[in-house]
Every structure is written in C-alpha cells, then in structure tokens.
A and B are shown apart, each in its own frame.
Chain A
Amino acid sequence: MKLEKWQELAALTDEASANNDIDSLIKIYKILQSELAKEKTAFGSMGIEWFQSSLTPDQWDSILISIKS
C-alpha cells in the first residue's frame, strides 16, 4: 500500500473515531487487515498498531467484538 493511501486512511480513521463511527472504523480495520494479509508491505503490522492507538479503548473493544462475532 502506498504511503498516500495510508495517509488517506489515517485521516478517515481520525474523523471516524472523533464521530464514534464504529461501522466505518470496522471497514477501515478490515482494509488494514486485508493489506496485512497480502504481506507485501512493512506498514501492515505497524498500521494495525497505529490504528489501535488512534482509537479510544471502547472503540477498539467494539471493533474486536464485531470482528469476532
């Protein structure tokens, strides 16, 4: 994934997090997971860590619960 795509996702994550827009955060998380699965870029695992750090603990929990269910 190119750097500018990460930057785009970062901006979307910040906005979705500020609005507590869990549905969009889940979609962003899935995109990141999918890119990580392709294993073609070092941003993968870093991207997930960065994503998690951009959310509140409650938002992160909501995403994990949603992914697991």
Chain B
Amino acid sequence: MLGFGQTSKLDDSALVKLFDEHAPKLVHAVALLIHDKYEAEEIVQEAFVRLMTSGRRLRNLERAPAFLRSVAFNLARNQIRHRDVVRRKTPLLIDPLEGDQTRSTPELFVLDNLDASALADALHQLSERQRECLVLRYYMDLNEAEIADVLGISKGSVKTHTSRGVEALAVKMGSEK
C-alpha cells in the first residue's frame, strides 16, 4: 500500500480515485445531516482540502476514508451549531437577500413529491447524535466500532443512539417498528 506522503504518479490517480469513490456518498451523507446539499459539498470539499494538506500526519491511504468521514462529520456538526447561533441572534436589519437555508421548501413537496424529502425531514427532527448514527449505520454501512471511531464516542453509546434513533424515525415517519 502506498503511503500518502510517498512520491508517485499513482498518488495522483489514487486521490482522484478516492474522490470518485467516496465524495458522492459523503456529500449525500452530510446533506442528510444538515439538510442542504450545497453546504454538504462545501464541507466535503473542505475535508478533501484538509486531507491534501495533512502531510505526514496521514501516511496510509487506507485511513483516508475514515479521516474524510471524521472531518466531514465534525464540520457538519459545527455548521449545525453555527446555524443555531445565527438563528438565536437574528440581525436587526432584515436582509431580504438572506435566504433561510434550513427552511424546507413547500414547492419541493408539491412539485417533486418525493419520499426522499419525507425521510430527510424526519431525520431532521431527531437529535444530532441519533441522526449521525443512523446515517453512518444505514447509509454509510459502517459497523458500531467504525461509527464510534468517526464520532469519538463509545460503542455502547452508538448502540443506544442508533436504537433510539430508529424508534424515533419510525414514529416520525408514521410507521410501525
């Protein structure tokens, strides 16, 4: 396995391959967390920038996907908290140009009529941890140990958040467990 810091043409293609294999899924996973595909793209792009500037700290390309996941999920969490702060501190001058990124757009439901929106909306009503665990488990197909590694929590906590998340999701989506 080539180290990330090694000099080789293969490194170029390996990075491109890494992007092609992981970026689309990661963008969608982050979009499920923050409910905004465009901001999700920004976040994943930033994760790749950090991977590229990580230098010797990341020697093994095999660890790159886990690194990208951790950075992207941390940035997503920061973004959600930043939004909360912004929401609490509403500016005095109402700026008509300032779109509310968290607003669900009714037209989308009417025009698209997608079940996908229902899942995204239900997810949005769960706690941050529950949402992260469900996306990592059922969309990214990670096991409990890998989820614990990404989120920096214990396997037990992952189990709890996942199980409660599934229950809450079932209720929000109006289906039986």
Chain A bound to chain B: no
